[in-house]
Chain A
Amino acid sequence: MAVEVRLPNILRPMAGGEASVKAEGENLREVFDDLIEQYPGLRASLLTPEGGLHRHLSVFLDDDDVRYLGGLDAKVTPSATVTLMPAVAGG
């Protein structure tokens, strides 16, 4: 089942300029794998070299931060919207 994945400005050039794309998967890891298969340029921004969630990326499943839903193991429902946002930090 395909879910909507909303991309922040900074990642859109790597997805053909699209603000929203579709990706298949029953959990976030599968969704990311499908997203990366479609747009290989996204990999470095989404995942660490070890395959974990990139720490400079915030991911939401509808309104919920996936850090509290099991991270990449979070289950994804067909009607869900995955929203990616850059971590905004500094000092």
Chain B
Amino acid sequence: MAVLVLPRECWDRIVAHCLGELPLEACGLVAGTTRPGWYPEAALAVVSQVYPASNSARSARLYTVEPADLLRADRSAEAAGLSLIGVWHSHTHTPAYPSPTDIAQAPDPDWHYLLVSLADSEPVLRSYRVVDGVVSEEPVAGAV
């Protein structure tokens, strides 16, 4: 199982964006680098930048990353020598686990899918891989 390294400041920005967009679902993109390991458990993905995006669905149950925001994030990441490696979105009332819609619409099997649940008093952030409809949670480690 690969590890997603998510620096504290990135976690803070993601959660702040999710809270700020309530009552609607929030979304955004993460950029960074990935390092394959000799074995799957040694793979490492490091988030370096987060790009809050507009949810063009403007919904409390659905999200669509505004295409123009996706393009801007992709270009910004590339200019910084990074790649877009995933997407986050919030679940306003449900757990931080991919919904059937999330699984069906996961755009890239190489991406990391971060879910932020705002169902409880404290936000919960988890990260997953979605490959051929199979969901696997991955550890999230905060950088020192």
User: Using a CB–CB distance below 8 Å, which chain A residues touch chain B?
Assistant: 8-10, 56, 58, 60, 63, 65, 83, 85-91
Contact = CB atoms under 8 A, between A and B. Distances in A.
B111 to A, nearest CB: 8
A83 B89 CA distance: 24
A10 B99 contact: no
Contacts of B106: 90
Contacts, number: 61
A88 B65 contact: yes
Interface in B110-137: 110
B21 interface: no
Given A9-B110, A10-B107, A10-B108, A87 B67 contact: yes
A58 B73 CA distance: 14
A12 B108 CA distance: 12
A65 B65 CA distance: 13
11 contacts: A8-B108, A9-B83, A10-B107, A83-B71, A87-B64, A87-B67, A87-B107, A88-B64, A89-B57, A89-B64, A89-B105
Nearest to B113: A90
B108 A9 contact: yes
Given A9-B110, A89-B105, A91-B25, A65 B61 contact: no
